Amino acid sequence: MLFTPFHLAGLELPNRIVMPPMTRSRAGAGNVPTALMAQYYAQRASAGLIVSEGTQISQQGQGYAWTPGIHSAAQVAGWRGVTDAVHAAGGHIFAQLWHVGRISHVSLQPGCAAPVSSSSLIAHGVRVFIDPHGKGPQGGVGDMVQHSMPRALSESEIGDVVNDFATAARNAIKAGFDGVELHAANGYLINQFIDSQANNRSDGYGGSLPNRLRFLGEVTEAVIAVIGSGRVGVRLAPLTTLQGAVDDTPQATYLGAASMLDRLGVAYLHIAEADWEDAPEMPVAFKEALRLIYSGALIYAGKYTLERAEAALRDGWADLIGFGRPFVANPDLPARLLNNVPLAILDSKHLFGGDAEGYTDYPVATRPVV
């Protein structure tokens, strides 16, 4: 089933393989996407769907050095080069829109005393990845602990961020993307509102589950208003605790989120399970419950093999499967999976920052494919 077509939001995907968002930190000056990025994405256009790396909706939303934005004219023009290359190669691509919230570092926020979040909380283990020497993509990416206590967004500021998401979505369509994915996972800003231990607000955005889901709902509604529900997907990570975002009742919380997003009519939910060795196990019963509650397309990503992907599709709780790190090292991943060609090994030293090495220099398979 992995190699059968799928109809998604007016797009005819040639297969059910998704390249999920993966930060690579190769943007140029001004956080503008580059020709090298266009080459990277075009090389992987045989995926049924590509979701771009996280793309900040504003300067305030940036958390890592040399990540691309989509809030300036130059950034939109840079992304147009990427989408044109992907479409020329026969692919489809959505832009992942993010605001990292408390994960940002003050060095990336000129004139700001502290990063913003749902609450004035800082989680244990929160780290940011920036280039401390300002070398950019050529110099690699450093690892620094965040020292600044975040401050809670005011209600009026929340409205400003909602508007930033809407503007970014409009810019994404202007840049040629087929749609957008809202990043509501991995401990970033929307996730900081959703998860109970990251949100200690006492106003209409905190406390009860409907209040904690309110920001996600308002962002989704604002984006739908400018580009339509069929061009909007949402990424969720129900059971992970990345960046210290922990929920006391995650299954109830995320079934609630899925129900709300179903009512809003978004095109898909992208469920991030995680791809590290000790990742939390997502019970099949939970996945089946998501299928019952949510009527749109369901994408799952997290350490999937060909066999696991086929089983998930066959069992009916997934429609598409994301392959993250394998796509980094295997630009022709769908052909390799289809023809049982061994996968190339990922060079993790060059995941974040740098030039073409470990980015666009992975070869395609030499074995003939059909």
Question: Which active-site residues does the annotation give?
Answer: 188
Contacts of 135 (CB under 8 A, 6+ apart): none
Rounded to whole angstroms, how far apart are CA atoms 196 and 245?
8
The values of phi and psi at residue 45, to 5°, are -70, -5
Between the two ends of the chain, the Cα-to-Cα distance in Å is 17
Contacts of 34 (CB under 8 A, 6+ apart): 26, 27, 28, 78
Rounded to whole angstroms, how far apart are CA atoms 256 and 220?
15
Please report how the helices 250-264 and 284-293 are oriented relative to each other, as an axis angle in degrees rounded to 10: 30
Rounded to whole angstroms, how far apart are CA atoms 259 and 7?
22
Q: Where are the alpha helices (DSSP H) in the chain?
A: 35-43, 73-88, 155-174, 189-194, 209-212, 214-227, 250-264, 284-293, 306-315, 325-329, 333-339
Rounded to whole angstroms, how far apart are CA atoms 261 and 255?
10
